[in-house]
Amino acid sequence: MDFETKCVHGGCTSSADQYKALSYPIYQTASFAHASFGSSTGFDYTRESNPTRERLEHTVASLEEAAGAVAFSSGMAAISTVMELFRPGDHFIIEQDLYGGSIRLFHTICEKNGLTFTYASFSSDDIESMIRPSTKALYVETPTNPMMKVVDIRRLADIAHRHGLLLIIDNTFLSPYFQKPLTLGADIVVHSGTKYLGGHNDTIAGFAAASSLEIVEHLHETAMSIGSVLAPFDSWLILRGIQTLAIRLERAEKNAMQIALWLKEQPCIKNVYYPGLPEHPGYAIMKKQASGFGAMVSFRTDSRETAIHILNHVKLISFAESLGGTESLITYPLTQTHADVPEDMRRKSGIDDTLLRLSVGIESAENLIDDLASALPLSKI
């Protein structure tokens, strides 16, 4: 079954609902009755399992070509549960250019629980030399957030598996439509389902998918135990969003390329970070491991004043956190998504007061460019 068809039909050839509802039902219930002692419909309590959430998990697993997937109440809940696979004393090598919320989780929660972390640039550092006897996993986003660095997943998988490590990939920026890390050798994929999978900025969700059924079962048991599962209605919203995933990403990527090319020509824009540009250092790797370049564009202005002027003067584009929705959003990583990242780590990654991150939506590219043009300082056009 082709990807687009899986998006619409959830990887199934027919509806599993007894009434053949085209929109899969929302089983908005906490509990399920037993017909008699010793019998069960297969569902007992929604924290453990729910038909709507199960349908969604089957869909995401199908899209990622995974052994299975677990749906969580947020992307951070998904990452937190993945970290429960490990024990005190375990060591991780982490991409330093990473969503700030993930770094905050590692610093404030995981370190308290006895896990240790080494941060590195996976696109330039010698990762293999950093592996210790206690190292258990490599963790990376690719493209990275917000500097859009590209990491060779196949190369990392080879390093990880030669040393008996797990490779964990955050695939939020590209979604399984453009990139399938498990098919490239990764062991676990995590998502903020709030972003491209949901696609409408109307709910929060997270996912973890794995190549091993054993890992999936462990994640499910942990999620059930700590109660971090996704509610039925939110599961339905993500199912609905996934139906248009392919066509949304095609349009958003096309817009992103047009905007990246336009930004390159503006005198007050000093750098444009988009892996779809041939001069991007990760362009060749992206061509090998992904089927598209995504719709995230970061760029550096000539001054803090220019960056703030743009944020204060965009009208069609919203100045807001998050990404991956139908609407275009512009973010100031320094004070928003990466505010809790230690200053030295921000400096190493290149996150300063001139950096902006743009999540390109599905509006008219011409309208978006006009909005950006009108937000540039008049003296610098």
How many other CB atoms are there within 10 angstroms of residue 312's CB atom?
A: 9
SS3 78: helix
| Averaged pLDDT for residues 256-270 | 98
Band the pLDDT of 40: cuts 50, 70, 90: confident
pLDDT at 353 over 70: yes
| Averaged pLDDT for residues 122-126 | 91
Structural domain contains residue 155: no
Structural domain contains residue 276: yes
| pLDDT given at position 182 | 98
| Averaged pLDDT for residues 207-211 | 98
Q: How far is CA 268 from the centre of its chain?
A: 30
| pLDDT given at position 35 | 83
Structural domain contains residue 285: yes
| Rounded CA separation 229/365 (Å) | 37
Structural domain contains residue 347: yes
| Averaged pLDDT for residues 278-289 | 98
pLDDT at 14 over 90: no
| Averaged pLDDT for residues 136-143 | 98
Using one digit for the tens of pLDDT, what is the confidence trace for 17-28?
Answer: 677 888 999 999
| pLDDT given at position 15 | 59
Domain count, the chain: 1
Catalytic residue annotation? 47, 99, 170, 195
Averaged pLDDT of the chain: 95
Structural domain contains residue 97: no
| Averaged pLDDT for residues 171-177 | 98
pLDDT at 90 over 70: yes
| Rounded CA separation 367/250 (Å) | 18
pLDDT at 108 over 80: yes
| Averaged pLDDT for residues 260-288 | 98
| pLDDT given at position 379 | 67
CATH label of the domain that carries residue 309: 3.90.1150.10
| Rounded CA separation 373/283 (Å) | 27
Domain coverage including residue 289: 246-380
Structural domain contains residue 306: yes
| Rounded CA separation 316/358 (Å) | 13
Band the pLDDT of 230: cuts 50, 70, 90: very high
Q: What are phi and psi of 225, to 5 degrees?
A: -70, -40
Structural domain contains residue 263: yes
pLDDT at 302 over 70: yes
How many other CB atoms are there within 10 angstroms of residue 41's CB atom?
A: 10
Structural domain contains residue 77: no
Point out the least confidently predicted range of 169-178, 291-300, 336-345, 369-378.
Answer: 336-345
| Averaged pLDDT for residues 9-19 | 69
Band the pLDDT of 348: cuts 50, 70, 90: confident
Q: How far is CA 234 from the centre of its chain?
A: 17
Cβ atoms of 178 and 293 closer than 8 Å:
yes
The set of residues, in sequence order, having a beta carbon less than 8 Å from that of 343 and lying 6+ positions away, is: none
pLDDT at 297 over 70: yes
Cβ atoms of 116 and 92 closer than 8 Å:
yes
Band the pLDDT of 11: cuts 50, 70, 90: low
Band the pLDDT of 41: cuts 50, 70, 90: confident
| pLDDT given at position 269 | 98
